[in-house]
Structure 1
């Protein structure tokens, strides 16, 4: 008898689940047909920003672009070893004919990181001040961080179609949780004695935020930014499946056609860019922490 019940169990809710899926899919398709164009127009400024940054990196003379990236790496890290590694990596990428794809990938990461910071930092600050908001948002962040990356492509393609905008939204949604979490954590870890001292001097709430909490939380926030950049780079490769240009498309082509060398070379280029971003952001975070330790004694 128990055996018969177990045999029937897997299909007990199949009809209800099928009906629920049809209802949700139908509603989403209707919403996409009705409001898809309006939603796409809403993201036009971001699309123009992405196109402008991509043109800047791909159409400018390569020595100028190389010099600009090296200058940013030096100002952030002040490390000759990191700067030398950046130069060698970019020269090798250019020598093997992957410069344009790399610049498109960097522009996508740059725009997605800026958008993620613009959205994620205020949310993280708000979470640090309201425990109820934190309890509401944390489960959503848990879902976002455990959801397989390919799943993010489904709703954005249904709503926005294939192209840059859809890929950018998918990358931002996938990469934004770390900056939210680390901003919230960094502000909450600020020493209470310092906040009480600021209150004693009559500081307003915004003054405590911008002159005490955010400066002291910056090293932790920088760790979140580092993770957001890494996740953006990983998702850009996945987003090549829906038309995002860059190093991900040759990798996808190599998988489809079994081009081992093409996939390996473009994969190594992605690794090189990831190492540059990681080392520069981590070194900047450490420099920032040391500076704050000196300032606050």
Structure 2
């Protein structure tokens, strides 16, 4: 049996001080959220307005227009009629089983979160690739974001902004953004140094080398990061439903609390269908990009 006498070596006063520190930090954060919560919330008002508008657009547009538009977009990206047909069948099945509105709500928030994660993650990944000091600072933060349970960082977000769409968006982005940052950094660093030397010899400045050489060559790796970001964002759908985000996650949560097997199964399968669609489309685009870059290199 392990010796527990070491516990008595810590002075009681130290434990009391630790409790007081915790209480002080909790009180300070509550005071901060009460004082500045509304101001910080107003910063996200444009994002909330866009998210509400996009969700209403998907909900009010006739279902057949949505299906045609999504199938056409999938074909433009993947150049695969089989994948486009699979998307049509999946969306028809979702509508047939009465999950259309929840699917559109989930699609709207996942689309917005993914676009924001890409818009924030790629520049951060570029900064990491161009600066070892930045990488040494950002990497531990990414480790924390990926290993800390989602419920833990939901606590300060909900305390500061309450429940609703914006806290859900922030939680999804925090959870989903690390892969695109890491793989953007990795993709740029893996670009052949001889290619960079050739670009420099032709007189390209740093900006031209970044946008004309590094990013195009790193695009397959970046697309892999975007793919993982989308998958992680979809995996947060159920957790985000716990803080008021409507969509496919709420019926799943309801089925857990009330033991509705078929409700949870059907809505879970709808989430899986969205995940497969996003995964296949992003992979197809990454493969097309890679083949295109290989053709340029061989030319």
TM-score (normalizing by structure 2): 0.95
Q: Which residue is 1:117 aligned to?
A: 118
Q: Shift in Å at residue 80 of structure 1?
A: 2.1
Q: Which residue is 2:284 aligned to?
A: 283
Q: Shift in Å at residue 15 of structure 1?
A: 3.2
Q: Which residue is 1:154 aligned to?
A: 155
Within 1, Cα distance between the matches of 2:7 and 2:37? 44
Gaps of 5+ in 2: none
Q: Answer yes or no: is the 8 Å Cα contact 1:120–1:176 preserved in 2.
A: yes
Note if 1:239 corresponds to 2:240.
yes
- Counting only pairs closer than 5 Å after superposition, residues 152-191 of structure 1 correspond to structure 2 as 152-191=153-192
Within 2, Cα distance between the matches of 1:107 and 1:246? 9
Note if 1:8 corresponds to 2:8.
yes
Q: Which moved more, 1:11-20 or 1:76-85?
A: 11-20
Q: Which residue is 1:86 aligned to?
A: 87
Within 1, Cα distance between the matches of 2:3 and 2:193? 61
Q: Which residue is 1:101 aligned to?
A: 102
Q: Shift in Å at residue 7 of structure 1?
A: 5.3
The count of residues paired between Structure 1 and Structure 2 equals: 296
Within 2, Cα distance between the matches of 1:3 and 1:245? 51
Q: Answer yes or no: is the 8 Å Cα contact 1:115–1:172 preserved in 2.
A: yes
- Counting only pairs closer than 5 Å after superposition, residues 201-216 of structure 1 correspond to structure 2 as 201-216=202-217
Within 2, Cα distance between the matches of 1:261 and 1:15? 51
Q: Which residue is 1:131 aligned to?
A: 132
Within 2, Cα distance between the matches of 1:149 and 1:210? 35
Q: Shift in Å at residue 243 of structure 1?
A: 0.3
Q: Answer yes or no: is the 8 Å Cα contact 1:124–1:179 preserved in 2.
A: yes
Q: Shift in Å at residue 200 of structure 1?
A: 0.4
Q: Shift in Å at residue 196 of structure 1?
A: 0.3
Q: Which residue is 2:67 aligned to?
A: 66
Q: Shift in Å at residue 11 of structure 1?
A: 9.2
Q: Which moved more, 1:19-28 or 1:257-266?
A: 19-28
Within 1, Cα distance between the matches of 2:11 and 2:56? 54
SS for the counterpart of 1:242 is coil
Within 1, Cα distance between the matches of 2:269 and 2:10? 45
Q: Which residue is 1:220 aligned to?
A: 221
Q: Shift in Å at residue 296 of structure 1?
A: 1.5
Report the CA distance shift for 1:115/1:9 in structure 2 as closer, same or farther (over 3 A). Answer: farther
Q: Answer yes or no: is the 8 Å Cα contact 1:152–1:174 preserved in 2.
A: no
Within 1, Cα distance between the matches of 2:8 and 2:248? 49
Q: Which moved more, 1:244-253 or 1:82-91?
A: 82-91
1:47-105 C-alpha deviation (Å, 9 max, x unpaired): 11111111111110000011111111111111122112111111100000000000100
- CA RMSD in angstroms comes to 1.5
Q: Shift in Å at residue 14 of structure 1?
A: 4.2
Q: Which moved more, 1:7-16 or 1:190-199?
A: 7-16
Q: Answer yes or no: is the 8 Å Cα contact 1:124–1:180 preserved in 2.
A: yes
Within 2, Cα distance between the matches of 1:217 and 1:4? 54
Q: Shift in Å at residue 176 of structure 1?
A: 0.6
Q: Answer yes or no: is the 8 Å Cα contact 1:153–1:239 preserved in 2.
A: no
